[in-house]
Amino acid sequence: MDLTGKTVMITGASRGIGAAAARRFAAAGAKVALVARSKDAIAEIAGEIGPDAAAIPCEVSRYWEVEQAVQNCLTAFGSLDVLVNNAGVIDPIAPLAEADPDAWGAALDINTKGVFHGIRAALPVMLAAGGGSILTIGSGAAHRPLSGWSAYCSSKAAALMLTRAAHEEYSQSGIRAISLSPGTVATQMQKTIKASGINPVSQLDWSDHIPPEWVAEALVWMCSPEADGWCGDEVSLRDPDIRSKVGVA
């Protein structure tokens, strides 16, 4: 897919899915704004990609920083066509009776409020331009409880509802809001899950996880009209038909 002339802003772009997505969108011709707390990591990836990439340090749990990141993206590239809400954390992994309340709240600040902050900051820009795509990394955890993951499951369920709310309110104004449930992905998060030993996901072998590059391919595909039928809903990369459409079957 040719995304020449488009600008994509990716949160959590310092590693894993975010870094893979930045490289893949750049390969498709897009200008890429890499947003993350790890300023050195995103600077290195942006330098690798070249002049069509910008590193924008940002803490997604703080709205004013996300709003400023959007403005920095506009300063660098003049537009914002695609937002990828990717930043997320798995901790705290703990039973409800033992979970640290501050850590539990911090997870929602990133996984849920961070998604809201991205949508809230990007929407005025996209609406003024006549439309745009808001893609959010979801999870099967949004649909069922998993032991030790109360914060993660709750935050992902809320993030999915934000996708549906954005579609409900702005689909008629050119906004394409879609969630992507990738399944388990070979990233640092899975190493943390493995070390926890809690619930069946931690028992999976490393070979059971898909590479982050598959998720990046799916995100690029989701920018195409072929994905319009999933607007306001969730694409599951566990679905063999979706994998075929994306080209990673």
Whole-number Å distance between alpha carbons of 200 and 231: 31
pTM above 0.75, yes or no: yes
Residue 1 lies in a domain: no
- Sole residue written with tokens 């069509």: 52
- Over residues 111-129, the mean pLDDT reads 98
Sheet-wide strand order for 53-57: 53-57, 31-36, 7-11, 82-85, 132-137, 175-181, 234-236
Residue 192 lies in a domain: yes
CATH number at residue 209: 3.40.50.720
Residue 217 lies in a domain: yes
Catalytic residues, by residue number, are 152, 156
Residue 204 pLDDT exceeds 70:
no
Number of domains in the chain: 1
Domain that holds residue 97: 7-246
Predicted confidence (pLDDT) per residue in 48-86, tens digit: 999 999 999 999 999 999 999 999 999 999 999 999 999
Predicted confidence (pLDDT) per residue in 175-195, tens digit: 999 999 997 776 677 788 888
Residue 2 lies in a domain: no
